[in-house]
Amino acid sequence: MSIFNLPDLGEGLAEAEIHEWHVKVGDVVKVDQPMVSVETAKAVVEVPAPQAGKVVKLFGKAGDIIQTHAPLIEFEGEAGAVKDKGTVVGSLEESNAVMDDGDMIIGSANPTTTTIKAMPAVRALAKQLNVDLNFVKGTGANGQITIDDVKKATSAPKKMHENFEVLHGVRRAMAAAMTHSHQEVVPVTIIDDADITDLPAGSDITVRLIQAMINGAKAEPSLNAWYEGKSMERCLLPEVNLGLAVDTPEGLFVPVIKNAEKKSPQELRDAVNNFKKTVKDRTVPPSELQGATITLSNFGMIAGRYATPIIVPPMVAILGCGKLRDTVVAKDGKMVIRRILPLSLTFDHRAVTGGEATRFLAEVIKSLES
Amino acid sequence: MAEMTLVEAVNLALAYEMKADKSVVVLGEDVGKNGGVFRATQGLLDKFGPDRVRDTPLAESMIAGISIGMAAAGLKPVAEFQFMGFLYPGYDQIVNHAARIRNRTRGHMTCPVVFRTPYGCGIRSPEHHSESTEAVLAHIPGLRVVIPSSPKRAYGLLLASIRDPDPVIFLEPSRLYRWAKQDVIDDGKALPLDTCFTLRVGTDVTLVTWGAMVKETLAAADLLSQNGVSAEVIDVATIKPLDIDTIIASVEKTGRCVIIHEAAKTGGVGADISALVAERALLSLRAPVQRITGYDTIVPYAKMEKYYLPNEHQIVEAVTNIMEFA
Amino acid sequence: MEIVAKFEVPYYQYLNHEGNVVADLPAFAKDTQELIKLYRLMVLNRIFDTKAIALQRTGKIGTYPSTRGQEGVFVGVGAGMAKDDIFVPYYRDVGILVQRGVKFSDILLYWGGDERGNCFASAKNNFPYSVPVGSQPLHAAGVATALKIRKEKHAVLTVTGDGGTSEGDFYEAMNVAGVWKLPVVFVVSNNQWAISVPRSEQTAAQTLAQKAIAAGFAGEQVDGNDVIAVRDRTEVAMKKAREQNEPTLLEIISYRQSDHTTADDASRYEAKGTRETHWAHEPIMRLKKYLEKLGVWDDKKEESLQTECAAEIEKTVADYLQTEPATVESLFDYLYEKLPKIYEEQRDQLIQLGGQSHG
């Protein structure tokens, strides 16, 4: 038990009257909590609790006179606890609280879960695009989710079949090129036939086609040109670099016979044969896949008559040749069987007129038939 | 086993180790007859005599320097600076000597000294008695800085500090000295230095703190759990060298980090922890690292002290804000 | 072998503890009005001191260091300084400050935990308190250096406790004052205690005054309970400093008739009865006896003085209690001439939260 006496309130007075208690027996008080108001001749003074503890006795009630230095209030606790404030400045808060460290872990709580790994910028983008990172697969270092991963998660439609695979190489290039062409080119396709019944047997049709195209280009140079859509510039080319569409298991290749107009029929055949080999072997150098000024697509080797072949910019024309066939035609009022080569010419109407295209085609047919 | 306050636990650890190891010597102003102004060294003079419990003249540079000499000569001094604000005259001795004797003698001479001092504000003391400048010590290579936050940790960490062969600055939060009690077993078992202590396990946010702010942080964690937020509370304890791994493991789990310290913000130890978290756990963060700290002002005198000290409501508010961040 | 140096430390006392004159009185002490002034000041200080302790006990101010029994030291030193001298206090020297323009209510503000109590704007020739023990003598040496450079015929006086004489800074200050011949007087208020450490355990030196010898100038002991001796020796030392740029150490000896502060408990280390024994030497009673012997003081005058002083202190307490609290932004407004931009945000945050302290 520790008894606290009425302190000298500095009024020079020997006693004070208890005005009002703010605590009662049994209360637990904190240091400096107002305990009691006492009235002196001059004023009503608050007396704060000198210690924390449980009140066990009040030495008087309201109205009683207490002498200075006489007992005022008694606290539960060790004797002498009041006397020793245990400090030299200030006042230390005391409480009866008991700290429970029972669950204290030395070091880490060894968590078994970790958050998704993504840089703050990625998280921000995901939030903006409404992507739940929990469902995004991370392709970055250490499995972290990247910006691209988040973007893919927004654009990729639900997979319809698990066998989808991303395109690579030649097929990927073709997809890209065709998409690009479709976005830019304004194609018109003109269809016609060439009657090659009177050609000598064993004629090299492919070489004759190439030669016909060269003649056509001479007659109508605007089909052997490059067109730049953005700047609306056109370049009529003196040389005919003939692109030859070649089909392979990997996809479409278009090797280019440079300066075809200068080559003899045998040289053209050799070039065609060489390309067939090098494309198949995948030894054709990239330089020979570039720079075509006009393209020939001999799709008819397999099947099909007429088509709407696609122009790959900056070219402005492509000639498609369908399957050679014997068919009944009307000639001089009679039905006769003739050898017919179907031709489909696509031209880019941004750079080529209908007149130019038809004249080109007429020249090709004339060259083929003679 | 007995229930005791933090300052009593300090006293208990000192008594234990002085009995077990005759080379331990206590010195400082008013530590002998008076038992220390906070009674941390109460009773030691009677138990161990005036050779080993020394009231020094009033001279902090002397207290630091003489301890260094004693340590080099094979004693284990535990010297007291009466308040952290009065450690500064000894700072030269600590930085220029205690921290580097081992290094500059290539291990031939060492400095197994403990400098203990009450630190921190919140006891409404006159000016200069409320310092929290642990950062100026944590910056110094060669030192350890240890801050207990409970009676058990005070006991275990002080024993570890005395037994450690290198200089330790042991900062005792005066606001917690008599705040709450705990059962402390006087078994001489040390707690590990260089390790954090996880006081609460949680999943939504990591609260990193030390010293007296552990009190407010635990209170904040309780308030947060009432709001459905599960906070993990880590008591850093050894400010230098930092056990960053425990902190990183926790942040990788929760994705959110709030550091709470009483010391002023600029250059506080929270800045170092924040940088380390950004370096090592950036990928896990769901919000920026927050620091709740004292202001960058001189600690106010008693009348405005309450405005300076961070409180649990500020901690709760900071956590609530970052829960919605991303 | 020859002796190359010796030292002497004189001891000064004019009035012994029975109130009898034991040495030739200095001129001012022959003027009873001057003596009554000193007496009044000591009584006023004691009444203030008692009131301050009561205010602490009732939670109106924080920790407070009493000057009880040491009134002779501080009243005498303050009276021995000139208005234009500079004063560098420690923290117990209320009696000096209030003679130099600081208000008693400022003293209460400071110990009440308000920075404005340290401001002394209207009492410019005083430094603020120095809590880190023994750090202020260096500041005094600095001021003295400035005075000397500017050739101003003023001097500086600084007070340190007996504990402070063990600090390195104390010796460094004296050393530079000696070798630079600075106009500074070092007063050591030796009240026999540095918290719990008695004077005998502070140093092996027989006197504290002789520490000046090591710094190359004179030191003397003065009976701190004899306010006449204190004032006289202060005047002499200050004159020497002003006119000859010669420092002096005055070891003024009294007894601490209180705990170190209101938070300390001296019964833990102070032998029972020591205070009472020393009380026989206390300064107010001594001068009272002398004044009564001279026939210039009586019970009626005493009562009147007590009432008058009590009223004056009451007013100062009222002033203190009615002081408006400082604004929260004042935490930031005196860190730099202009608060750097990076801290403006914190200042704003504090102002926003300012009304709501959570205790």
When scoring C58, C267, C322 by the number of chain A Cβ atoms within 10 A, the one with the most, hence best to mutate, is: C58
Q: Are residues A300 and A186 in the same domain?
A: yes
Interface check C270 vs B, CB under 8 A? no
What domains lie within chain B, and their CATH numbers? 2-184 (3.40.50.970), 197-323 (3.40.50.920)
Of the pLDDT bands very low, low, confident and very high (cuts 50, 70, 90), residue C353 is: confident
Strand C184-190, strand A233-236: pairing: unpaired
Q: Which residues of B are catalytic?
A: 129
Of the pLDDT bands very low, low, confident and very high (cuts 50, 70, 90), residue A157 is: low
Please, which residues have CB within 8 angstroms of residue B88's CB and are 6 or more apart in sequence?
A: B60, C132
Q: Are residues A37 and A137 in the same domain?
A: no
Q: What digits encode the pLDDT tens for the residues C114-145?
A: 999 998 888 989 999 999 999 999 999 999 99
Q: Give the domain-ending residue among A110, A130, A155.
A: A155
Provide the mean pLDDT of chain A. 88
Q: Are residues A124 and A175 in the same domain?
A: no
Q: Are residues A219 and A352 in the same domain?
A: yes
Angstroms from A135 CA to nearest CA on chain C = 40
Query: Which domain, by its residues, includes A13?
Result: 2-75
Token pair for residue B273?
């922890």
Give the domain CATH number at A304: 3.30.559.10
Q: Are residues A26 and A136 in the same domain?
A: no
- Ramachandran class of A134: left when φ > 0, alpha when ψ lies in -120 to 50, beta otherwise: alpha
Of the pLDDT bands very low, low, confident and very high (cuts 50, 70, 90), residue C356 is: low
Provide the residue type at C78 as one letter.
Answer: G
Of the pLDDT bands very low, low, confident and very high (cuts 50, 70, 90), residue C311 is: very high
Q: Is residue A132 part of a domain?
A: yes
Rounded average pLDDT over B296-317: 94
Interface contact flag, C197 B57, Cβ < 8 Å: yes
Q: Are residues A144 and A186 in the same domain?
A: no
N- to C-terminal Cα separation, chain C: 71
Rounded average pLDDT over A126-132: 88
The DSSP call for residue A221 is G
Q: Are residues A276 and A203 in the same domain?
A: yes
Interface contact flag, A113 B253, Cβ < 8 Å: yes
d(CA C134, CA C90): 8
Residue C260: active-site member: yes
Interface contact flag, C310 A12, Cβ < 8 Å: yes
Interface contact flag, C263 A89, Cβ < 8 Å: yes
B33 half-sphere exposure, CB direction, 13 A CA radius: 16
Q: Are residues A137 and A261 in the same domain?
A: no
Of the pLDDT bands very low, low, confident and very high (cuts 50, 70, 90), residue A156 is: low
Q: Is residue A52 part of a domain?
A: yes
Interface check C355 vs B, CB under 8 A? no
The residue of chain B with its CA nearest to that of A145 is B283
Q: What digits encode the pLDDT tens for the residues C186-197?
A: 999 999 999 999
Gyration radius (Cα) of chain A, Å:
50
Q: What integer pLDDT is reported at residue A160 of this predicted model? A: 65
Provide the mean pLDDT of chain C. 95
Q: What integer pLDDT is reported at residue A33 of this predicted model? A: 81
Answer whether residue A159 shows pLDDT above 70.
no
Number of domains composing chain A? 3
Q: Is the pTM of this model over 0.80?
A: no
Measuring CA to CA, which residue among A88, A321, A266 is closest to residue B37? A88
Q: Are residues A177 and A149 in the same domain?
A: no
Q: Is residue A146 part of a domain?
A: yes
d(CA B213, CA B239): 14
Percentage of chain B with pLDDT > 70?
A: 100
Query: In angstroms, what CA-CA distances link C100 with A87, C41, C126, C143, C305?
Result: 32, 12, 8, 17, 21
Of B30, B59, B304, the CB nearest to C328: B304
N- to C-terminal Cα separation, chain A: 133
Q: Are residues A150 and A245 in the same domain?
A: no
Provide the residue type at C282 as one letter.
Answer: E
Interface contact flag, A10 C260, Cβ < 8 Å: no
Question: Among A41-50, A76-85, A317-326, B15-24, whose mean pLDDT is lowest?
Answer: A76-85
Q: What integer pLDDT is reported at residue C35 of this predicted model? A: 98
Interface contact flag, C132 B59, Cβ < 8 Å: no
Token pair for residue C241?
């400093």
Query: In angstroms, what CA-CA distances link A324 with A284, A301, A342?
Result: 29, 8, 7
Interface contact flag, B197 A105, Cβ < 8 Å: yes
Q: Is residue A93 part of a domain?
A: no
| Complex confidence, ipTM | 0.88
What domains lie within chain C, and their CATH numbers? 11-325 (3.40.50.970), 327-359 (no CATH)
Q: Is residue A106 part of a domain?
A: no
The residue of chain C with its CA nearest to that of A6 is C57
Give the domain CATH number at A147: 4.10.320.10
d(CA B305, CA C261): 20
- Ramachandran class of C120: left when φ > 0, alpha when ψ lies in -120 to 50, beta otherwise: left
Angstroms from A51 CA to nearest CA on chain C = 12
- Residue in C11, C57, C269, C343 annotated catalytic: C269
Burial class (CB in 10 A: 0-12, 13-18, 19+), C338: exposed
Q: Is residue A111 part of a domain?
A: no
Q: What integer pLDDT is reported at residue A81 of this predicted model? A: 43
Of the pLDDT bands very low, low, confident and very high (cuts 50, 70, 90), residue C358 is: very low
Chain C residues with CB under 8 Å of A9 CB are 54, 57-58
Rounded average pLDDT over C93-118: 96
Q: What digits encode the pLDDT tens for the residues B126-142?
A: 999 999 999 999 999 99
In SS3 terms, A71-123 reads as: EEEEECCCCCCCCCCCCCCCCCCCCCCECCCCCCEEECCCCCCCCCCECHHHH
Gyration radius (Cα) of chain B, Å:
19
The DSSP call for residue C343 is G
Question: Among A24-38, A247-261, C70-84, whose mean pLDDT is lowest?
Answer: A24-38
Q: Is residue A314 part of a domain?
A: yes
Residue C154: active-site member: no
Q: Are residues A34 and A177 in the same domain?
A: no
Interface check A331 vs C, CB under 8 A? no
Q: Is residue A166 part of a domain?
A: no
Q: Are residues A236 and A270 in the same domain?
A: yes
d(CA B181, CA B7): 10
Q: What digits encode the pLDDT tens for the residues B35-52?
A: 999 999 999 999 999 999
